[in-house]
């Protein structure tokens, strides 16, 4: 299950006057300032606007779009309502992200289609939002299926459909195939999943090594044996900020870091964790990015200790250039 244009849909639901207009969610909501698009409504996507695009570019593509800031607290709240509804349908759920989850429905004595309709109806009744559901024999295929008929989609994929429906898709649709692999494959004249499936396993291992070669071979044939991960521990908590204008003012950088540390500590306390490894990230005006890390004697959620560690890391940077972005991360352990 994957929600449709999630952040934008939440905003449209609470402000019905936005319906049908191009809506872009990102950064502080001011498209003349720095920041990237978190998501765009389907109306806004018609103008070529998409996630991760600079807000200023989105503004050029569609100046009359409605630009709104990210209200993460509200989206998290709606996300919890959705996850609860899904758990009622099947307790075997893998929570993948804010708007996405896998459900194991193999033990439910109903047709796949009925279950899918029930999922869509429950989510619509509790949140007023639409989602897209993909049903298949494994996570890899279910994820691809959920994307085939967005928005408000329902796609049931049998293993026999792989050749007809999956093979024509670009290789990027496979999990774990990023721009780098895509480029590498393009040089081998492989652009679709079907092209990839025609390469013998040995050939893929030769080019990509045993582990990734095997993965590409299986994935291109629709094979995925990974089980659902129904419980996971957060491994880290992090925050970062991009300055409106690059700065070499140490006071500004320090104040920013202190604020980020406070947010991270709030986060780890709320979840009942403790931080051990503290990392500070600095991106300079030319996008060169460095990290400095330190490990605390023992895991803690003490603000002072974590702040001290973060400033110790900050002190290890050579500030030769203006700073564009500051970030902090705490590696976590339980209790
Ligand atoms: P997606 O499910 O990738 O996108 P979406 O729900 O907006 O649209 P679609 O109908 O295609 O599924 O991501 C879910 C939310 O995560 C999205 O609403 C905003 C956020 N997000 C970002 O903040 N940055 C990103 O680069 C992406 C891809 C998503
Ligand atoms: Mg989505």
* CATH, residue 326: 3.30.1490.100
Final residue in a domain of this structure, among 14, 48, 71: 71
SS3 (DSSP) at 93 = strand
Task: Give the CA angle between residues 166, 175, 58 to the nearest 5°.
Answer: 95
3-state helix, strand, coil in the chain (%, to 5): 45, 25, 35
Position in ligand 1 atom list of the atom nearest CA 25: 19
Number of domains in the chain: 3
Residues 315 and 257 in one domain: yes
Q: Is there a domain that residue 179 lies in?
A: yes
Task: Give the CA angle between residues 132, 14, 33 to the nearest 5°.
Answer: 90
Which CATH number fits the domain that encloses residue 213? Answer: 1.10.150.20
- Residue 335's pLDDT is 61
Residues 209 and 176 in one domain: yes
Dihedral class, residue 272 (left if φ above 0, else alpha if ψ from -120 to 50, else beta): left
Looking at the whole model, is its pTM more than 0.85?
A: no
The count of other CB atoms within 10 Å of the CB of residue 180 is: 8
Q: Is there a domain that residue 147 lies in?
A: no
Q: Is there a domain that residue 25 lies in?
A: yes
Q: Which helix (H) or strand (E) holds 154?
A: strand 154-156
Residues 24 and 53 in one domain: yes
Residues 244 and 186 in one domain: no
Task: For residue 196, give its domain range.
Answer: 161-220
Final residue in a domain of this structure, among 170, 186, 220: 220
Which CATH number fits the domain that encloses residue 26? Answer: 3.40.1170.60
Q: How far is the CA of 76 from the centre of ligand 1 (A)?
A: 13
Residues 215 and 259 in one domain: no
Q: What is the C-alpha separation between 137 and 224, in angstroms, rounded?
A: 9
Q: How far is the CA of 203 from the centre of ligand 1 (A)?
A: 35
SS3 (DSSP) at 328 = strand
Position in ligand 1 atom list of the atom nearest CA 8: 18
Q: Is there a domain that residue 20 lies in?
A: yes
Q: Is there a domain that residue 210 lies in?
A: yes
Residues 254 and 300 in one domain: yes
Task: Give the CA angle between residues 208, 210, 214 to the nearest 5°.
Answer: 85
Q: Which of 51, 101, 149 to mutate to test the pocket of ligand 1 (most atoms within 8 A of CB)?
A: 51
Final residue in a domain of this structure, among 178, 194, 220: 220
Q: Is there a domain that residue 140 lies in?
A: no
Residues 244 and 280 in one domain: yes
Q: Is there a domain that residue 111 lies in?
A: no
Q: Which of 38, 44, 82, 145 to mutate to test the pocket of ligand 1 (most atoms within 8 A of CB)?
A: 38
Residues 256 and 166 in one domain: no
pLDDT tens-digit profile, the chain (335 residues): 999 999 999 999 999 999 999 999 999 999 999 999 999 999 999 999 999 999 999 999 999 999 999 999 899 999 999 999 999 999 899 999 899 999 999 989 999 999 999 999 999 999 999 999 999 999 999 999 999 999 999 999 999 999 999 999 999 999 889 999 999 999 999 999 999 999 999 999 999 999 999 999 999 999 999 999 887 667 889 999 999 999 999 999 999 999 999 999 999 998 889 999 999 999 999 988 899 999 999 999 999 999 999 999 999 999 999 999 999 999 988 76
Residues 328 and 247 in one domain: yes
Q: Is there a domain that residue 118 lies in?
A: no
Among the bound ligands, the one closest to the CA of 153: 1
DSSP states along 59-73: HHH-TTSEEE---HH
Residues 173 and 213 in one domain: yes
Q: How far is the CA of 54 from the centre of ligand 2 (A)?
A: 19
Q: Which helix (H) or strand (E) holds 122?
A: helix 112-127
Q: What is the C-alpha separation between 58 and 36, in angstroms, rounded?
A: 9
Q: What are the start-end ranges of the E strands in 176-254?
A: 236-247
């Amino acid at each position: 299950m994957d929600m449709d244009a999630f952040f934008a849909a939440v905003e449209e639901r609470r402000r019905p006057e936005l319906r049908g207009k191009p809506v872009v969610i990102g950064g502080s909501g001011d498209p003349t300032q720095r920041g990237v698009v978190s998501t765009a409504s389907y109306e806004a996507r018609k103008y070529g606007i998409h996630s991760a695009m600079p807000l200023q570019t989105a503004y050029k593509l569609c100046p009359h779009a409605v630009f709104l800031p990210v209200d993460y607290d509200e989206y998290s709240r709606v996300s919890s309502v959705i996850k609860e509804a899904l758990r009622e349908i099947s307790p075997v759920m893998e929570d993948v992200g804010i708007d996405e989850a896998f459900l194991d429905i193999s033990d439910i004595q109903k047709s796949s289609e009925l279950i899918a309709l029930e999922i869509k109806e429950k989510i619509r009744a509790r949140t007023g939002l639409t989602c897209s559901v993909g049903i298949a024999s494994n996570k890899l295929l279910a994820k691809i299926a959920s994307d085939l008929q967005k928005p408000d989609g329902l796609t049931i994929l049998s293993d026999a459909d792989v050749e007809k429906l999956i093979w024509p898709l670009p290789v990027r649709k496979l999990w774990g195939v990023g721009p780098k692999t895509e480029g590498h494959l393009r040089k081998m004249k492989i652009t679709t999943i079907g092209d990839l499936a025609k390469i013998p396993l040995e050939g893929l291992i030769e080019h990509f090594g045993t582990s990734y070669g095997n993965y590409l071979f299986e994935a291109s044939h629709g094979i995925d044996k990974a089980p659902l991960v129904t419980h996971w521990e957060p491994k880290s908590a992090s925050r970062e900020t991009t300055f409106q204008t690059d700065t070499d003012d140490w006071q500004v950088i320090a104040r920013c870091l202190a604020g980020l540390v406070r947010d991270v500590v709030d986060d780890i306390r709320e979840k009942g964790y403790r931080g051990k490894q503290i990392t500070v990230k600095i991106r300079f005006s030319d996008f060169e990015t460095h990290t400095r890390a330190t490990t605390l004697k023992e895991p803690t959620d003490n603000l002072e200790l974590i702040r001290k560690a973060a400033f110790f890391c900050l002190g290890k940077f050579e500030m030769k250039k203006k700073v564009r972005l500051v970030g902090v991360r705490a590696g976590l352990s339980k209790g």
